[in-house]
Each structure stands twice: as structure tokens, then as C-alpha cells.
Chain A
Amino acid sequence: MSATHPISLSVNGEEISRLVEPRETLADFLRRDLQLTGTHTGCEMGVCGACLVLLDGRPVHACLTFAVQASGAVVETVEGLTESAEIADLQRAFHERNALQCGFCTPGMLVSAHGLLTRPGVPSREAIRDALSGNYCRCTGYEAIVDAIEAVARRRAAGESAVRFLEEPA
């Protein structure tokens, strides 16, 4: 065991200060230290995309970042995005279109989709597929996921906000 290191960071809008071992990944920190288990650990080597979180506003692999590196940063997990309702329309579209089966990849898919949809313009299906190229799904065959993201991109372009979907029953 190496000496622990003090870190301070913002997680889902809350200022957090903890002591961590330098070798603890951000993914393990979120899951073990903060019980934010929506961030999934799959391959733990930056291949599967299940652990994606927003780090200073951009989707990154929480398994490829040590928690100490994130000290001073702003982290948002799927729990934070859910609470703020920023992705309520995406979540609903995933549900409606059967864009998940086992659900293991879903948090990472949502973070990738959120990253894509915060960029300007309406992405093509090809651009959506490209944005998901680092997210593995072993259930759906991706088609339904692309459908869901495409539908939300169009609705948002037509002026619908994510929050509108929050109160409606799924």
C-alpha cells in the first residue's frame, strides 16, 4: 500500500474531498468510495466504454484516469446526468426503442450520446455510429441504440428539451 493522497473534486455538483491511493482509478473511486455504481467497469483498459463519465464536460474513460489526476476537475456520472434531467429524453428513447437489454453498456452509451448531442448540428447515422465506436454492446446489435439517439437528435433540433420527458410515465 502506498501513501494516500488528498484530492478534491466536484462530482455531480457536490464538492468532494477524500484521501485516495494514487493507483485507484477514477472508476473505482466513483464506485467504491462514492457508491456511484452507475459507472460500470468492464474491460478496465479503455476498450469497452462502460465506464465513461464527463470529465470537465467531455466523455472520458473513468478506468483510464487515476482519481488523483482528476483532483480539481468537474466530474459528472450517469447518476448526475439523470438527476439533472439533462438526458431524460435519451433515457426515455432508449427505453421506448429497446436500446438496452442487459443494460451493462447503457451508462457509457448515454454519456457518449450526450457528448455527441452537445456538439452543434444534427448528427447523421454514420456520425452516431462513429461516436459509439468505443462503446461495446453485446446485446442489441447497436441498431436500436442508433435509432434512439437519432430520434432524440431530431426532436432536440425541433426544439424539444430533455426536461419535458422527465415527468411523463415511461
Chain B
Amino acid sequence: MVTNLDWKRTIGACRLLKARAFTYVRPATVAEAIEAFAAAGGEASYIAGGQSLVPALALRLQAPECLIDIAHIEALRGIERQGDRLRLGALTRHVDAHDDPLIAQYAPLLRLAAPHVAHPAIRNRGTLGGSVALADPASEFPAMMLAMDAEMEIAGPEGTRRVPADAFFQDVYQTAIEPGELLVAIHVPVAGPHHRCAFDELARRRGDYALVGCGVMLAMPGDVIDDARIAFLSVGPTPVRARAAETALSGTRLDEAAIRNAQIALSEDLDPSDEAHMPATMRLHLARVLLGRVLGHLGATA
């Protein structure tokens, strides 16, 4: 699995470079941005916060001929409630996920995950849309899209379409976004008073990429779980929904037995691969420990 962490590990091995020369355009609308991509013959990258892209350019892991700066497109901004959905413009910054009152109220899982995303200065500039479109399997926000059942609004030359999170993440850094298309907004079902959610992750040091992370969203109108959505990060090439664990929880009261059954069910959901610094069995074990903690926390606060 190639992650940002791996780029950063190359710091000792690789001669540091500056980005290769590129041209720069700053479109004012989504249509102009998509046109600019086509005009560059596809040898272009969109840039918003650039907190993952700029290091990739500096290390020359990527070398587009043109950077299309989408940070000034008004249609990509804003956080607003639209009926039973919260619309998050793609330019919503990580710090907004932490500070914005509408997000705290209607998409609380993002609020809970935000402090775990990188470091404060990165959160000041990095965007939600950028994180989701990059789809780093070790990132927090992409996995939370799965847990929240979010929909991605994608604009392209043919118009706009929406893709549910379950169909969005396809492989390492691979999403349903086709070359030249642009993630415009994220639509999240509004959480109500009967929803309970929690997030936690295990990392060697705070701010490091998670060894494993987990977000849980429970619909729990009374004592019994009506519906559960559980998503893990850092367990494979994409963020992963733990459907067997979700099934194990549905209809239960979130008691010890239900939590244990959900932990056991994880072996059906997760299939991590052996890596140099961590065997697959250890990662699965950590995922179970983490799920137990997150659900235990929810059970204790129910």
C-alpha cells in the first residue's frame, strides 16, 4: 500500500526536488475548470488545498503540465442544510469539519474524525473534497463517507452525477471520478437525535497515519440498534465497510455479547495484507480491539 507516509519515509532515501515546471490557471467556474483540463490534453491536475499534491509534485511522483487551481470557484464552497441532507462544498477545509456548527450538529462523525487528520497547519489548508477525491486508504475522511452513507457530486463535460460512497472508492487512490471530472460537493444524510456515532484510531504517535481507524454510525431510536454503519481505514487498498459486523449489531441492545459478536464478525469483513512492519493478523487484532473500544464507548454513553 502506497500512502503519504511512504512518501514521507522516502525523505531519507530520496534527493529532495522542486516541482517540475508547469503552467497555472485559476478558473472562476466549474465549467471553466473542466474546459481547462480538456485544453491541457489531460496532462493536468486540479489543485485545491494541495496538502497531498504539493509534496507529490516536490518528490516528482507526479508531474502534470498544468495545475488548475479550483480554490476560487464559488460553487465549490459552502456548508448548508438542504432538506434531509447536509451539502458540503468540496472546498470545505478540514478545520471547518472541526469548527463548523452545522457539521457538528448534522455530520458529527466528521467533527469527531477531524482532530485525527494530520496536523493543525495541514487542517487549515487541506480540503474535504481533496481528501475524498485522493482516496488515500489511510485517511480518515474517505472512510467516514462510507460510515455516513454520503453521496459524491461529480461534475464532468457531460454534466453532473452523484455516486454513493459504497460505489465511489475502487482501489488505492482510485475513485469513481474519471479523468477531467471534478468533485463538486459531498451530500451527507442529516444525523438526528436518534443517531449515535463515534470515531477512534490507533497510531504510533498522534498525527501519524493510523495503523487502523474506525468510525461508527448507529441509528438507535430506543434501546435497540435499528441500523449500523461501520467503516475502517488503513485496512486495505480502500476504506472498508464492515458489513458482517454491522449485521451482528442490528437489532441488538449494544450489550457485551453484541459487541463481541461484531468483533468476531470482522474476520469476514477485513482482509488486510501482510506488510513489513505489521502482519495481517496483527492488523485484524488491532481492528477488533478498536471496534470494541468504539462500541464500548457508545454503549457506555447510550
Q: Which of B18, B21, B69, B119 contacts A69 (CB 8 A)?
A: B69
Which residues of A (116-141) have their CB < 8 Å from a CB of B? Answer: 116, 130-131, 133-134
Q: Contact check, B58 vs A66: say whether CB atoms are below 8 A apart.
A: no
What is the minimal beta-carbon distance from A146 to any residue of chain B, in angstroms? Answer: 14
Looking at A41-49, A86-94, A157-165, the stretch in contact with chain B turns out to be A41-49
Q: Is A147 close to B, CB under 8 A?
A: no
Which residues of B (30-70) have their CB < 8 Å from a CB of A? Answer: 47, 50-51, 54-55, 57-59, 67, 69
Q: Contact check, A44 vs B58: say whether CB atoms are below 8 A apart.
A: yes
Provide the residues of chain B in CB contact with A55, threshold 8 Å.
Answer: 124-125
Q: CB-defined interface of A85-119 with B at 8 Å, one 1/0 digit per residue?
A: 00000000000000000000000000010011000
Provide the residues of chain B in CB contact with A44, threshold 8 Å.
Answer: 16, 58
- Knowing A45-B11, A46-B51, the reply to whether A134 touches B122 (Cβ < 8 A) is yes
Provide the residues of chain A in CB contact with B69, threshold 8 Å.
Answer: 68-69
Provide the residues of chain B in CB contact with A43, threshold 8 Å.
Answer: 11, 16
Q: Is B161 close to A, CB under 8 A?
A: no
Q: CB-defined interface of A35-66 with B at 8 Å, one 1/0 digit per residue?
A: 00000000111110100100100111101111
Chain B interface size, as a band, is: 20 to 34
Residues of A in contact, count (CB < 8 Å): 35
Main secondary structure of the interface of A (DSSP, over half): mixed
Q: With A and B bound together, what is the CA distance between A51 and B60 in angstroms?
A: 20
Number of CB contacts from chain A to chain B under 8 A: 102
Q: Contact check, A60 vs B124: say whether CB atoms are below 8 A apart.
A: yes
What is the minimal beta-carbon distance from B87 to any residue of chain A, in angstroms? Answer: 23
- Knowing A5-B24, A23-B20, the reply to whether A46 touches B54 (Cβ < 8 A) is yes
Task: Please list the residues of chain B having a beta carbon within 8 angstroms of any beta carbon in chain A.
Answer: 7-8, 11, 16, 18-24, 26, 47, 50-51, 54-55, 57-59, 67, 69, 71, 95, 115, 118-122, 124-125, 206-207
**8 nearest A-B residue pairs (beta carbon):** A134-B119, A22-B24, A2-B21, A58-B124, A45-B55, A133-B207, A23-B19, A64-B54
Instruction: Provide a sorted-by-A list of 22 A–B residue pairs whose CB atoms are within 8 angstroms.
Output: A2-B21, A2-B23, A22-B23, A22-B67, A23-B22, A25-B54, A44-B16, A45-B8, A45-B16, A45-B59, A55-B124, A55-B125, A59-B120, A60-B121, A68-B26, A69-B47, A69-B69, A115-B124, A116-B120, A133-B206, A134-B119, A134-B122
Q: A2-B23, A61-B125, A134-B119 are in contact. List 20 more A-B contacts (CB 8 A).
A: A21-B21, A22-B21, A25-B18, A43-B11, A45-B7, A45-B11, A45-B16, A45-B59, A47-B11, A52-B121, A55-B124, A58-B124, A59-B120, A60-B124, A65-B50, A65-B54, A68-B69, A69-B50, A130-B206, A134-B122
